[in-house]
Structure 1
């Protein structure tokens, strides 16, 4: 299943979210915690959305970055070959399994069936399997950044996602489509949804945040703004 189809599926999830129990409970995970946890989350989302709008340039929600041009490959260390986002998903894994047999058009606002489907799908996506063949490999991959940890010197950690708007304008992708990145040195100016190349060693390591769960970790050797 390619990323473009996955982005469309994300919009379906967004529709279910609106029909079910609201965006805040999608992120927070437990409906009973919505009232308590929404305020801080909404502030974070509002800030990230503002940054994403400022940094988005010509990107629209759902846009993904083209693969690197061969003529530019010389700019990078050949020890870090380019990794495709599709390769992060095991070939036999079906991210649409939770939606089989469901007619979304028949659902109404606050429909408990939508909430039930979201709960099932959310668990399946948060537990999305990794591709074991990639573990321990040195890789290079382009994506959109979402800062999650920063110090006085800049951003220390970020989430890397395959398409514009993921985790901010749309619900999070499956965990095997979110990479937690730990930078070797803080970066002073990493804005939400800015496009970057990241390279380093990839491992299978779970990372949970309010913005989404990552199934992979890249301990980055380098980061560079993406230019197509």
Structure 2
């Protein structure tokens, strides 16, 4: 009878221990699942926050780049408008100068230096317009003066005094009437830089000029 009782107790203890272990495992499982889910939720949240920060940073960079490009486009547009305005002003200046000089030529027998006063006024106007025009328009004025006979001396007329004028990037091939010769062209006292005379024949030596 005691042996049977001990066997019964042993069986009871084993059964009890088995139930306890099972309960512990169930308890641990009930803790692990929420814990894993919580960790997973935290990781996902951190990842989403990081992704959101990166997206905001990318959006901000794109916005800055868009604004920079917009500013560049606006600046280019403004520069283009300024250049157009400058070109229009220079075209008007060139046209007014030629009209003015043509009127003087018509009234004074084809001379811009008929007397000292006229020669002084012509010189002042020409030097002033040179300072405001670009190379191509300056070449047009020199061609106008040369073709109208104002840049060489004759027995009854002096050439227009352009001394002290500073001319840059002038290609005299654009001035020569026949593409080869510049007969009696007077460049006395004119300062030239980056100037081309390739294949140009000049029958009068320049004085106090530099290339």
Q: TM-score, normalised by structure 1?
A: 0.26
Which protein is richer in strand relative to its size?
1
Give the structure, 1 or 2, with the largest relative contact order (CA under 8 Å, sep 6 or more).
1
- Decide which structure has the larger Cα Rg and report it: 2
Which protein is richer in helix relative to its size?
2
